[in-house]
Chains A and B, each alone.
Chain A
């Protein structure tokens, strides 16, 4: 069953056809997925105090119902280390189409994964996990299953990745928390099943996984037309 808050967010987003990022983050928090510390500011003083409380360096992202592809308009700035760059970024963002605020989030380190869902014509909700980063569409190292996932499916999906060794401490790297990754997949599958009647697809891209946890750093929820 969908929580009332999630239903309200979906209702309000229908007019755009997708869910604004701060709203998407809210949905994930409510669904047991981990998100970075974040806040949304519209003016400089507010932005500075939020960034300081999250702790520099931070990432800033444009919030606008008119901009689905944020990077096309340079709407994502990572590694902001001080108030000055922060306020300059806010000033630039505020001139972009449909500006509704600037999302400020903590920087998260880890192995980059993509987790996604789509509503397949023949099979309904499908869940995908893959190695992320810019090579995702080149290497296509992904595992795919029909939702809802069972615990065994989640294990098989992770084990099915060719690059799994990169996650388990390859050449001295710190292994990621596989339990957290598994839990993320299972919670996400549950969320997709709850949203299946209203959602076309969801990209969690990237999901940053490290020794402690798996964090949904950026997401796009596309609604059914």
Chain B
């Protein structure tokens, strides 16, 4: 099965468009792709007729071109026959938006689709999903274009069982400046599941980080997935819901009671080098840092700050997360001090954290970052950047980014997130240094680098 056509269709049929209702999901999908994406789109409805100026074809087979992707948004009971038509007409892939299958008591309909698709090697996503969003390529979300928040193009692909969670995270990624390669809503995941997408995404050049929102796996599928993810050269992140058991099931053994569903889930993914994000902010932080840095670290954090309190809070957060903030050697401290501006040499508190004080200027941050980066005592630098310190300029991001690149050491910045500081934040982000909106977020980013195996 070739999944390529799901993500890069040149031709697309939207089946189930209404000639009367422009807010019908199929119409929304038709309109946005027709107007804004490099896809040739055809409307299909058995009743035929016109959609504004465009022709509505009664069947896929009537379309004069070969179709790469059929987006099916008809009533559930019609979908199996529509899919059979698509297969017969040589359509290369499908997305079933419609709901009303296993989740609505019609497992029979879903089973029919799966068995015909398997027989014909016809890849389809869904049913009961939003489908795919690929920047500049295709968008099958039935959300009106004016209501969507679009992320920057980038390295993160997020696969979600829930369409709502997916859209929410697109917003969060956008907010945090995390670029996305693809957003994929898999709904009931009847045929194409987490594992099939993993196999595709591992080979997808646009995808650098593969993130999942998972409610649960079917019987035995968790095992297959984690074994495959362990072999992935790209980092895999999972955010899980449904961690608390729905009821008290009778358990026959101590082991079954101690190793509940979620405990087993969590243990199995950690064992196979999958990063578990405990919540949304971890997910976004992990995605951001792992799309910036691929090299894992041991976790010897150097902290540079303009405020002693921020430094102390960062040390606490590191310790809570089991990350080392090593004492600096006398030599390294002397090296840092030597290069500070004269004014700061006298007042800076040069341990780890290195507190350069509110009187510091860009050059003090750069000098300290250089000395830490050049040393083997530190393998990752967290910079606590307070834009209200008078001596700091808007160029601090680009200056520190060049130090990070020169020494090939990951830098992570904390900058308070308000609109006023956006240009400063972008100075970091657009030059490849991830910025966290909180101290804890910065530390979580470092943690993601520590836990990731070498890729």
A residues within 8 Å of B by Cβ? Answer: 114, 116-118, 120-124, 126, 128, 130, 136-137, 140, 142-146, 153, 200-203, 205, 220, 222
Partner of B259, one of A120, A200, A222: A120
A118 engages B259 (CB within 8 Å): yes
Partner of B254, one of A124, A126, A136, A146: A136
Contacting residues, chain A, for B256 (C-beta < 8 A): 118, 200-201
Contacting residues, chain B, for A222 (C-beta < 8 A): 252-253
Contacting residues, chain B, for A220 (C-beta < 8 A): 253
B417 proximal to A (CB < 8 A): no
B258 engages A128 (CB within 8 Å): yes
B259 engages A142 (CB within 8 Å): yes
Contacting residues, chain A, for B413 (C-beta < 8 A): none
Contacting residues, chain B, for A120 (C-beta < 8 A): 222, 259, 261, 264, 268
Contacting residues, chain B, for A153 (C-beta < 8 A): 271
Question: Which residues, 194 to 222 on B, are CB-close (under 8 Å) to A?
Answer: 216-222
- Identify 17 residue pairs between A and B in the complex whose beta-carbon atoms are under 8 Å apart, listed by A's number: A114-B254, A118-B253, A120-B268, A122-B221, A122-B222, A122-B264, A122-B265, A122-B268, A123-B220, A123-B222, A126-B267, A137-B258, A140-B258, A143-B267, A200-B253, A201-B256, A222-B253
> Which residue of chain A is the closest to B267 with respect to CB atoms?
A144
In the complex, what distance in Å separates the CA atom of A72 from the CA atom of B135? Answer: 64
In the complex, what distance in Å separates the CA atom of A114 from the CA atom of B253? Answer: 11
Chain A: minimal CB distance from B373 (Å): 32
Contacting residues, chain B, for A122 (C-beta < 8 A): 216-223, 261, 264-265, 268
Partner of A146, one of B216, B217, B226: B226
B376 proximal to A (CB < 8 A): no
In the complex, what distance in Å separates the CA atom of A140 from the CA atom of B258? Answer: 7
In the complex, what distance in Å separates the CA atom of A213 from the CA atom of B221? Answer: 37
Q: Using an 8 Å CB-CB cutoff, how does the interface string of B129-160 with A read, 1 for contact, 0 for none? A: 00000000000000000000000000000000
**Residue among B221, B253, B255, B257 having the largest count of chain A Cβ atoms under 10 Å:** B255
B219 engages A130 (CB within 8 Å): no
B271 engages A146 (CB within 8 Å): yes
Contacting residues, chain A, for B267 (C-beta < 8 A): 126, 143-146
B423 proximal to A (CB < 8 A): no
- Given the contacts A122-B264, A123-B264, A144-B267, A130 and B258 also touching, CB distance less than 8 Å: yes
B263 proximal to A (CB < 8 A): yes
In the complex, what distance in Å separates the CA atom of A118 from the CA atom of B263? Answer: 12
Chain B: minimal CB distance from A191 (Å): 14
- Given the contacts A126-B264, A201-B252, A220-B253, A136 and B258 also touching, CB distance less than 8 Å: yes
Contacting residues, chain B, for A200 (C-beta < 8 A): 252-253, 256
* Known contacts A136-B258, A144-B259, A220-B253; 8 further A-B pairs (Cβ under 8 A): A116-B254, A117-B255, A122-B221, A122-B264, A122-B265, A142-B258, A200-B253, A201-B253
In the complex, what distance in Å separates the CA atom of A126 from the CA atom of B255? Answer: 9
Contacting residues, chain B, for A128 (C-beta < 8 A): 255, 258-259
Question: Which residues, 219 to 257 on B, are CB-close (under 8 Å) to A?
Answer: 219-223, 226, 252-257
B255 engages A203 (CB within 8 Å): yes
A201 engages B255 (CB within 8 Å): yes
Contacting residues, chain A, for B219 (C-beta < 8 A): 121-122
B259 engages A126 (CB within 8 Å): yes
Contacting residues, chain B, for A203 (C-beta < 8 A): 253-255
Partner of A123, one of B252, B253, B265: B265
B258 engages A116 (CB within 8 Å): yes
B254 engages A205 (CB within 8 Å): yes
> Which residue of chain B is the closest to A68 with respect to CB atoms?
B252
A116 engages B253 (CB within 8 Å): yes
Chain B: minimal CB distance from A204 (Å): 9
A123 engages B255 (CB within 8 Å): no
In the complex, what distance in Å separates the CA atom of A188 from the CA atom of B267? Answer: 18
Partner of B268, one of A116, A126, A143, A205: A126
A145 engages B271 (CB within 8 Å): yes
A146 engages B268 (CB within 8 Å): yes
> Which residue of chain A is the closest to B265 with respect to CB atoms?
A122
Contacting residues, chain A, for B264 (C-beta < 8 A): 118, 120, 122-123, 126, 144, 146
Chain B: minimal CB distance from A150 (Å): 10
Contacting residues, chain B, for A137 (C-beta < 8 A): 254, 257-258
In the complex, what distance in Å separates the CA atom of A118 from the CA atom of B261? Answer: 11
Contacting residues, chain A, for B223 (C-beta < 8 A): 122-124, 146
Chain A: minimal CB distance from B88 (Å): 36
A116 engages B265 (CB within 8 Å): no
**Residue among A136, A137, A153, A203 having the largest count of chain B Cβ atoms under 10 Å:** A203
